[in-house]
Every structure is written in structure tokens, then in C-alpha cells.
Amino acid sequence: MNAPFAPKRPLVDTFGRTISYLRISVTDRCDFRCVYCMAEDMVFLPKKDVLSFEEVETIASAFIARGTTKIRLTGGEPLVRRDIMDLVGTLGERIGSGLEELTITTNGSQLAKHAEGLFAAGVRRINVSLDTLNAERFATITRRGRLADVMAGIDAAQAGGLSLKINMVAMRGVNDDEIEPMMAWAHGRGMGLTLIEGMPLGEVGLDRVDTYLPLRELHERLANRYTLTRLAKKTGGPARYDHVAETGGVLGFITPMSHNFCESCNRVRLTATGQLFLCLGQDDQVNLRDALRDGGRAGLDAALDHAMLIKPKGHDFVIDRNAPAPAVARHMSVTGG
């Protein structure tokens, strides 16, 4: 058994929030171009600017030493980064000595290939993003994905023992007619379904005002048809979860736009190039790659202390026809969703 783990100096910000959850974007690249996430002609970062696995591991270690218990790998599409399973394996070795959970958010396109390896590395729960069960609509939303690949990935992941949650961005006029079928399908297969409100991150190929669907309104609609019971589960994030009596499954709502969750925020996000963003909806950041290259582990620790001093209180997203630009210029795929 591993010895009990005591963080040397927990990461606590100026609002008294303890940071225990790190999201790592391992690449900004992706094999899809989802309309709400990326522009069709998205320009990716030069590969030379992307952190090496060694650098990611060093940064992750510094976080774990200071009390991070949960790491989620994301992107871009994490499973398209070359040799990604090497990183998953190394981080997985930390489970039980500080790290409690290693998870991944994926579009599922490469999951059939990697499901077994993920489980072997210690990953137990994963999030798969899927906005529709209709193959044509899937091709339109992702611009280049194939639904059959994702379905094969989901099958393999379940067969391999992974517990799955499906994330669906709910868009008015795009896929809002599929919310109930998606719930029946996901819950029927023993998977949770979490609905996400579209956020104004980066210029993309979608009219965010027309497609914005406030989930508060949707929750009311569903509550008239289903018996929804709020679950106590606290994530420190923007999600709330309901148990649905009719399906026996869990329905989540991620409502960054219509619900303020910032007071319990426990997370920070590392980009593929080593910038640590302290809030998804703000520009405050520290450069951990420079800190590491210039000052080694001591430099990293000092940068983490500084990060805690500048983590903002919260975001203020607005979706407004008259707003000249997205609330935050960087795309979700850069910050890591």
C-alpha cells in the first residue's frame, strides 16, 4: 500500500479556494472541426512550441506535490497526439501516491484503439463528447468526423471496463430535438449524459446567439416530463446533476452562461504550450514552460505561488448580438475544455 500523501504546500488562492484539479491540454490539434469549437481553417500551433511529455510530467508532479488529486487530459483531441499512451502510462503510475484520479475527455474517434490501454494505465472514467446520434448531422457538426468510429470507440471503452459519460453541447435548432433520445440511449447503456451550454470562446463557424440554448429553460421543460431529483454530488465545476427516475440514469447540466459556479472553482488549465490559465473565461495566466526552463522545479513552485495570487474571482461570459467579439478570443481547443 502507498504511504498517506501529504501535500507540501497546498495551492490556495486569494479567495480561499483550494486548487486540486488540473486539466492538461496535450495538443491543440484535432481530427474534427466541431462548428462550435473551431473555425474550418483553424491554424494550429507549431509543434516545436508544444510541451514535451517530460515537461508535462514535471509540471504534473509539481501540482501533485502541492495537492492536486485529479488530472484530466484534454485538448484539442488528446488521443491524436503521437505516443499519448506513454504520457497516460507515466501519469497513471502516480495514482495512489497523491493523484486520486486520471481522466480524459475525448471525441472518441481513436478510442477503439486506446480503450484497453487507458484502463491498463489506471484510467477508470472517461468523458466522450457526442452531440448527435444521426450520422449525417454528426458529419455536419464535426465537419470531418464519422459517427461509426465514435460508436466503435464507445463499445470498446465499455467492453474494456471504462465508465463513460457523454458530453453533448446543446444547440437550439441544431440538436435540441435529440436531447431526449440521447438521454434514453446513454442511460440505456449505463452512461451519464451531460448537457453543455455553448460558450463564446474564439471565432467559429456557428451563430452563437441563434443557437444558444439556456439550460435552465431546458431543465424546466424536462422537469415537466421526467422525475428529476437533484444529486448532492459536488464537482467544484459548473455542473449540476439530476437523477432521472424514468431512465434510472444521471443527467448533468453544465451551465457556465446561466449559472455562476465560480465561488467553488477548484481547477486550473495548462495549455499545450505551457501557459497556465487560471479561469476558462479570463486571460490571467502564468507561463510554466518559461518558469521551468529558467528556474527548474523551484521556478515552477514560485510560478504556482504567483498563480494563486492572480487567479480571478470568476468569469463574466455574455452572449450578445451587439458584442463585437467573442468574450474570450482563444478557442476551447487551446485552453483545453
Q: Footprint of ligand SAM on this chain (CB under 6 A)?
A: 30, 36-37, 74-75, 77, 105-107, 129, 167, 169, 196, 198-199, 201, 332-333, 337
Give the CB-nearest residue to ligand SAM: 337
For 177, half-sphere exposure in the C-beta direction (CA atoms, 13 angstrom radius) is: 4
Q: How many residues bind ligand SF4 (CB under 6 A)?
A: 12
Cβ(154)–Cβ(212) under 8 Å? Answer: no
Q: Does 333 bind ligand SF4 (CB under 6 A)?
A: yes
- The distance of closest approach from Cβ of residue 264 to ligand SAM in the complex, given in angstroms and rounded to an integer, is 20
CB nearer to ligand SAM: give 39 or 310.
39
Q: Which of the listed partners (ligand SF4, ligand SAM, none) does 278 bind, with a CB threshold of 5 to 8 Å by partner kind?
A: none
What is the smallest separation between the CB atom of 333 and ligand SF4, expressed in angstroms? 4
How distant, in Å, are the alpha carbons of 29, 168, 270 from that of 57?
Answer: 20, 30, 12
Using the minimum distance from each CB to ligand SAM, give the nearer residue, 61 or 105.
105
Q: Is the distance from CB of 200 to CB of 259 less than 8 angstroms?
A: no
Name residues contacting ligand SF4, limited to 114-143 (CB under 6 A): 129
Using the minimum distance from each CB to ligand SAM, give the nearer residue, 193 or 300: 193
Residues of span 20-59 touching ligand SF4 by CB under 6 A: 30, 32-34, 37-38
Quick one: what does residue 33 bind among ligand SF4, ligand SAM, none, with the CB cut-off 5 to 8 Å set by partner type? ligand SF4
Q: Find, among 42, 38, 332, the residue nearest to 196 by Cα.
A: 332
Binds 267, which of ligand SAM, ligand SF4, none (CB < 5 to 8 A, cut-off by type)?
none
CB burial of 72-100 (b: ≥16 within 10 Å; e: otherwise) equals bbbbbbbbbbeebbebbebbbebbeebbe
Closest separation between CB of residue 33 and ligand SF4, Å?
Answer: 5
* Minimum distance of ligand SAM from residue 167's CB (angstroms): 4
Binding mask 54-93 for ligand SF4 (x = CB under 6 A): ---------------------xxx----------------
Interactions with ligand SF4, residue window 214-253 (CB under 6 A): none
Spatial separation of the C-alpha atoms in residues 245 and 242, rounded to whole Å:
9
**Residues 185/133, Cβ–Cβ less than 8 Å:** yes
- 208: its cell numbers: 452563437
Nearer to ligand SAM, 262 or 310 (CB): 262
User: Rounded distance, CA 153 to CA 118, Å?
Assistant: 12
**327 touches 317 (CB < 8 A):** yes
Cβ proximity of 18 and 264 under 8 Å: no
- 196 contact choice in ligand SF4, ligand SAM, none (CB below 5 to 8 Å, kind-dependent): ligand SAM
Q: From CA 10, how far away is CA 270, in angstroms rounded?
A: 18
102 grid coordinates: 486520471
Which residues lie near ligand SF4 (CB under 6 A)? 30, 32-34, 37-38, 75-77, 107, 129, 333
